[in-house]
Amino acid sequence: MFFPQEMTSLELIIPEKDLLAVTNVLTGQGVFHQVDASHLGSRAKSESIDSWKERASTYATLERQVLLAMQALEVEEGNPPKNENPTVVAIEDIRPLMEEIEQAVKNATSQLVSSQKRLEQLQENINELEPVADFDLDLGMLRDPRYIHSILGTMPVSNLERLQTSLTRTPSVLLTLREDRKNAVVWLTGASGNADILDRAARSAYLNPFDFKGTHEGTPSEIIKSLNAEIANTRQQIEKQKDEIAQLRTTYAGQLQSLLWNVRTSRMLADAMAHYGKLKYTYLIVGWIPSSKLASLSEQLKRASKNIIIETTPSKRGSSGQNVPVSLKNPGILSPFQMLTTTYARPRYEEIDPTVLITITFPLLFGAMFGDVGHGLVLAILGWVIASKRVPALRGMASLGTIVMICGLTAIVFGFLYGSIFGFEEILPESPFFSKLIWMQPIHHITDILLVAIGAGVVILSIGFLLNIYNAWVARDWARLLFDPNGLAGLVLYWSLLGLAGSIAVPGFPVPTPVFVVLVILGGVAVMFSEFFKHLVERHRPLIEGGIGMFLFQSVVELFEKLISLFSNSMSYVRVGAFAVAHAGLSGAFFVLAELVDGNRGLGYWIVLIIGNIFIVGFEGLIVGIQTMRLHYYEFFSKFFTGGGAPYEPLTPVRVEEK
């Protein structure tokens, strides 16, 4: 929970005959994270690897074909079969069935698509003809006139001006009959002697002439009537074709689902084998598995191959520079907050997973900034609705819903502590029971709440320093532990500065000021020359890079930057108190507005208050959420959390989603 799952490096050497059986075990368990070992094999013997690569590519193409057919027939993927020993299906066994289905689906869907296109075309034709519907003229007459040449059709509006320009030297008339944002219905006419020029100009301006020759004849209104009849006919055809597709769905749904999982499994197996290393007579498989799964996997591997050689190396945290895949294992309730952690970065293997911490601090800081029983209740209900997946459109946001719900609950708790409900600051204090719960009302104790917020910030930042020290200790990174600006040196500087301020400001402070002065100097020197000390501990040479002058200048700047950042990081938490005050202030502003609208506290008064509360929950809730995230990402995480861990992606045909 506090660290990613412990992983073990696995190297397997297997004889060629057991290739498939071992791969089946590795993929069937869904715990083996493969590492590409194809480059480790002997090049001359890599034909079989290449052949697996080709097969993986063929299966991928087949999988895409199956998915396309399923999409066309609206068939769901279904659940993966419960088969612990998946196998590679022979391509020639599945191809005939796939081709049969594909052909049937293609025929049915292409007919449907073509009918739908025809329908669209017919409707478009009607739209085009409507502007000239009252012309009592047989359009057929425009086609073969003796003295004039006419073109009636549609063209892009953007080309109108150019068409006009292109015909400047040719006597002609261009009439725009209808024009929308994109297209125009136009009538271009001129002397039949210039028919070639007019046609060329029209064509090059992308004027598409109406062409009903042989299908619809007569005046525009007659053609529209005839087009409407064809539309009705086409609609009937579409219904019939949809029935045929439904029939195909009934026939092939089960076969397609089975095909999909077979092909997907085969693709995954082939892909896995393409990444094995090929030795002379054996294969080399490299990867990672969670240490807790090692025993059961080893047992099954030995059952699958008697001659298998299994070499395992448990990966100790910080023991190597290997890129160990990171599998986060947090209980269900923490998973929404894990999303907040991984949005920032995935922890490295040797690093603390801050999910537990953020699960505590995120709702706490949010609640402290947004403390109000009523507003918290609204958020909690809203979060519950989202988390319960009752609204289909919000199902993808279930994790966010849980976070909102928990934040809403802490806002309720702080609401009782602040004595605020829907912005009313006097209801709870007047209640004999609830008044006992009130700790302080931020709007009346501004200085106190701001000081408490800074105090909370100091505690959180100190935890950040301590976690960084702990991470460095786990990683055996002594230089970072001792001299990193966020390590022991930084912590000594931070705490001694706080102590110094306390000893000066508070009369009778238990520790004398000179002690803190000495510690500030020690911490300051360690931070200032942290690069030098780190090089010293790591035996890195040269100790100073870029000349002594530049080094001293950089060191002074670094110390200054660190002092500023310690101050600004701590002050950053003032916002927790400030938002608590602002929350009450904003509510107060809406009360004033409501009084202005309706001093008698009638309907207008309550409408303004309701709008105000909606605004506070929506707008202020969002801002407070962003600020809480900012405090975690920029002030807290940056102290100890480096991230950059590789995700753990076990081999399995089913997509494994980290809980």
Partner 1 sequence: MGGVSGYAAIHSRIRVMYSTLLTPEDGASLRDAADLQTLVTLLKDTPYGPYLTGVEDKDLTAKWAIHQVKHRLADVYLTIIHSVPAYTRSLVIQLFRHFEIDNLKAILRGIVTNSPWEQVRDILFPMGSLSVLPAQQMLETGNIQAAIALLSSTPYYDTLTHALKRYSEEQSLFPLEVALDLSYWQKLWAKVNQLPGRDRAEAMRIVGPLVDITNLMWAIRYRVYYHLSEEEIINYTLPFGYRLRDEDIRTIAAGGDLVRVLDRLYPGLSDTETLLEEPERGLPKLELQIQRRLRQQLKEVFTSYPFQIGLPLAFALLIELEVQDLTVLIEAKSAQMPVERFTPYLLMSTNADDRVSA
Binding site for partner 1 (CB under 8 A): 155-156, 158-159, 161-163, 165-170, 182-183, 197, 200-201, 203-206, 208
Residues whose CB falls within 8 Å of the CB of residue 402, separated by 6 or more in sequence, listed in order: 333, 336, 383, 387
Residue with tokens 């396309």: 68
CB of 159 to partner 1, least distance (A): 7
C-alpha to C-alpha distance for 565 and 324, rounded to whole angstroms: 33
Name all contacts of 492-495 with Cβ < 8 Å and 24+ positions apart.
Answer: 492/519, 492/522, 492/523, 492/526, 493/519, 493/520, 493/523, 493/524, 493/526, 493/527, 493/562, 493/566, 494/461, 494/462, 494/465, 494/523, 494/566, 495/462, 495/519
- CB-nearer residue toward partner 1: 116 or 298: 116
The CA distance from 457 to 452, in Å, is 9
**Closest CB 60 distance from partner 1, rounded Å:** 12
- Cα–Cα distance for residue pair 259/252, rounded to 1 Å: 10
Q: What are phi and psi of 185, to 5 degrees?
A: -95, 120
Strands 7-15 and 208-209: unpaired
Torsion over CA: 331, 333, 339, 341 (sign)? negative
Least distance in angstroms from the C-beta of 63 to partner 1: 14
Closest CA to 310 of 32, 653, 46: 32
Q: How far is the CB of 120 from partner 1 (least distance, A)?
A: 10
Nearer residue to partner 1 within complex by CB, 164 or 388: 164
Least Å from the CB of residue 49 to partner 1: 17
Q: How far is the CB of 151 from partner 1 (least distance, A)?
A: 13
Which is nearer to partner 1, 162 or 249 (by Cβ)? Answer: 162
Of residues 115, 177, 101, 188, the one with CA closest to residue 151: 188
Nearer to partner 1, 21 or 155 (CB): 155
39/541 with CB nearer partner 1: 39
| Cβ nearer to partner 1, comparing 155 with 256 | 155
Instruction: In angstroms, give the least distance from the CB of 542 to partner 1.
Output: 25
Does a cis peptide bond (omega within 30 degrees of 0) precede residue 542? yes
> Which CB sits closer to partner 1, 97 or 197?
197
Q: What is the CA radius of gyration of the chain?
A: 37
- Considering the complex, what minimum distance in angstroms separates the CB of residue 117 from partner 1? 8
Which residues on adjacent β-strands are paired with residue 326? 647
Q: Which is nearer to partner 1, 203 or 235 (CB)?
A: 203
